Amino acid sequence: MIEALIFDMDGVLIDSMHLHSKAWKTAFMEVGIDIDERDIFSLEGENDPGIVKMVLDSSGSDAGRFDELMNLVPHRKHELFDRDAVTMFSGIDECLKALKDRFRLAVVSGSDRTVVKVMMDRFFPGVFDAIVSGDDTEKGKPEPDPYNKAVELLGVEKQNCIVVENARLGVMSAKNAGIFTVGIPTYLERKELEHADIVLHDHEELFRFSGLLLRT
């Protein structure tokens, strides 16, 4: 019996990856590393330390720049998220309100705690029973730790949960945690989420799926 639904934030609840990618590109440029903003989309779901390590490794850059980047990135993100428009995906608020009457709800995001709190307070105050940010576990996605943390906070069994993810690393994280996973390819091709138990086409199909859950 399904008792809880766990959602990724960026790309599932809010349309924000363009800001994340811009912030990362700006931060890396400040230390002399040029990256394609699209590269960040492939790393979506990983927490900030994980992304910094991966980019430094892949670019052959000095690992000593890790601390410098970890100081730069939050500032660049907060500047953009405070200044630029972030929007909810149309219909997601009505969907969550309907689901909240029946299920426990959680968010698991690789974004840092400050960004997650700002987005939750702005768009979804009081909606979620548990919130896990990229700062709340030492290991981020694709490790199972973030989703294990959410299940612990919700106080439910894994077999009674469903995860909704739009990122490849996020799908891997949820599956590594042993949780049934629904993929929604907001910024990717459907084939990139092939490890999910179900891969939907878009948010409209997600809303229909949610309606089916409410009728079971």
Query: In the CATH hierarchy, which fold is given to the domain comprising 17-83?
Result: DNA polymerase; domain 1 (1.10.150)
Give, for 185, the enclosing helix (H) or strand (E): none
Single out the residue of 207, 169, 167 nearest to residue 186, CA to CA: 167
Q: How far apart are CA 99 and CA 115, in angstroms?
A: 24
Is the CA virtual torsion 79, 80, 85, 88 positive or negative? Answer: negative
Arithmetic mean of pLDDT over the chain: 88
Is 4-16+87-215 a CATH 1.10.3210.10 domain?
A: no
Does 83 score more than 60 pLDDT? no
Query: Residue 187's pLDDT is what?
Result: 85
Count CA within 13 A, CB hemisphere, residue 204.
1
pLDDT of residue 71: 78
What's the pLDDT band for 27 if we cut at 50, 70, 90?
confident
Tens of pLDDT, residue by residue over 126-140, are: 999 999 999 999 999
- What residue ranges do the domains of the chain occupy? 4-16+87-215, 17-83
- Tell me what percent of the chain is helix, strand and coil, each rounded to the nearest 5: 50, 15, 35
Of 71 and 131, more confident: 131
Which of the pair, 44 or 144, is modelled with greater confidence? 144
User: What is the arithmetic mean of pLDDT over 140-163?
Assistant: 97
With a CB cutoff of 8 Å and minimum separation 6, the contacts of 16 are: 9, 10, 81, 86, 119
Task: Kindly state the average pLDDT of the residues 144-150.
Answer: 98
- What is the residue-wise DSSP string for 72-125? HHHHHHHHHHHHS--EEPTTHHHHHHHHHTTSEEEEE-SS-HHHHHHHHHHH-T
142-160 b/e (C-beta count within 10 Å ≥ 16 → b): bbbbbbbbbbebbebebeb
Question: Is the pLDDT score of 80 beyond 70?
Answer: no
Q: Crossing angle for the helix pair 66-83 and 113-123, nearest 10 degrees?
A: 10
Residues 6 or more apart whose CB falls under 8 angstroms from that of 8 comprise: 45, 107, 108, 109, 163, 164, 165, 166, 167, 170
Q: Are strands 14-15 and 87-88 parallel, antiparallel or unpaired?
A: antiparallel
Q: Say if residues 125 and 105 touch (Cβ distance below 8 Å).
A: no
pLDDT in tens, 34-65: 877 667 777 776 777 878 887 788 777 766 77
